[in-house]
Amino acid sequence: MSDLNLWSEKDLKETFVWIFTFALVTLFNVNKSKNEHDFLVSSIKGTIGASVFVIYVAELYAFPLLVEIFIYPVLVFFVIAKEFSKRDDCKILEYTSEFIIISFLVSAIVNSVTHVLENYENIDGFYILKDFCLPIILSILYLPFVYLFSVFLTYERIYVHLNLFGCDESIRPFVKREIFRRFGINADLLRRVEKALRREKIRTRAGAHAIFSDVQGIWSKERYPPKVCSSEGWSPFWANEYLTEVGLVPSDYYSLAGEFWSAETSLVDLSKPPFADNLAYYLDGDEDVVQRLKIVLNVNDLESASCSEEVFRSACLMLVEQAMGNVSKKIQHLIDSAEQFDVIEENRRIKMVSTDMAIEKYRGYTRKFMIYCCPEYQALGEGDVAG
């Protein structure tokens, strides 16, 4: 970059600011991302978003040296504290850190705008453009390292798991080599391998080949989903996206018990911990066809039940619309007003079940909303699988 006249020693300050406002924060977040592609896309959007402009304006004119020597270490501390507070769900620290960071940015913007208005005749246009583009260029050049760092972390988790209890010792070197040979630096496939190894222990070379072939097969099907007859059920790769608008995106579709396949979301909190209400979305069926869609609401705090019920109701209506094309007045009325029902609609079985929690002191309850591909379908365990 120096040879191209895009960076010089004068840009050291801007580079340090970029390191502590983008580079470190991105590294903190990369291990939490569930999808490397989406994470990288969001990072690229972030580098050209409004926040870049705000930071640039804030850094256009420096504070006095002694002020900057004091304020930047403090700012770095609160940027890092904000990220750790998200991980530990410490709202007081998160809000305090945000307030201090925003206060600094506002002060810096006021300082920069004041200097620009006083010295606008002496402003160098090329220098300003180069200064503005610097963090964007640094961020784009940094993303390949972030991706490879994510791959490294995934390999580390896989190998640690294999060393502890994921594989017989006699074939462990073979399994590690085979993972690298088959999946290389494909972060998405490696993440799926990691999940598969946590579900099933590898005992033989044939077992390793079977697990890895299943992972590659599902990945290929997701890229080119086979057509599914509507009378048989739903494509797992389309059903996976039915509730993305409410933040319910299931994990990879996988074999749970022989010919029975499943996918589920993590529990999404709808209220404040420690006894947060939560919502989850489940799919189950066979390898090619989802035959039951299920939404589960767990109400653990009756004070927040009305808000959680509204989210649950919206998710149920959205699922019916996505799975069946429309929501009849009958189904809408049942979802709005009935605690339990079991009806047939357009050759689909639609069912709602409500149960009180066994632990009486929590006074909570669970509601399950299910759509079956046909009236005769019976799920494995009938409603008890994966939640």
C-alpha torsion 43→48→51→54, nearest 10: 150
Rounded Cα gap, residues 222 and 319, in angstroms: 20
Beta carbons within 8 Å of 205's beta carbon, 6+ residues apart: 171, 174
pTM to 2 decimal places: 0.65
Integer Cα distance of 110 and 266 in angstroms: 44
Mean pLDDT within 356-383: 71
Which residue bears the tokens 């209400």? Answer: 277
Check residues 100 and 333 and name the one with the higher pLDDT.
Answer: 333
d(CA 252, CA 250): 7
Do the bridges between strand 278-285 and strand 341-345 make them parallel or antiparallel, or are there none, so unpaired? Answer: unpaired
How much of the chain exceeds pLDDT 70, in percent?
72
Asked if the model's pLDDT at residue 45 lies above 60, the reply is no
Please name the residues in contact with 29: beta carbons below 8 A apart, sequence gap of 6 or more.
39, 83
Judged against a pLDDT cut of 70, whether residue 64 lies above it is answered with no
Q: Which among 159, 174, 171 is positioned nearest to 203, based on CA atoms? A: 171
Tokens of 60: 């256009």
Q: What is the pLDDT at residue 283?
A: 92
Indicate the average pLDDT of the chain: 78
Give the pLDDT band of residue 222 (cuts 50, 70, 90). confident
The answer to whether the beta carbons of residues 190 and 183 sit under 8 Å apart is: yes
- Which of 57, 256, 32 lies closest to 146, judged by CA? 32
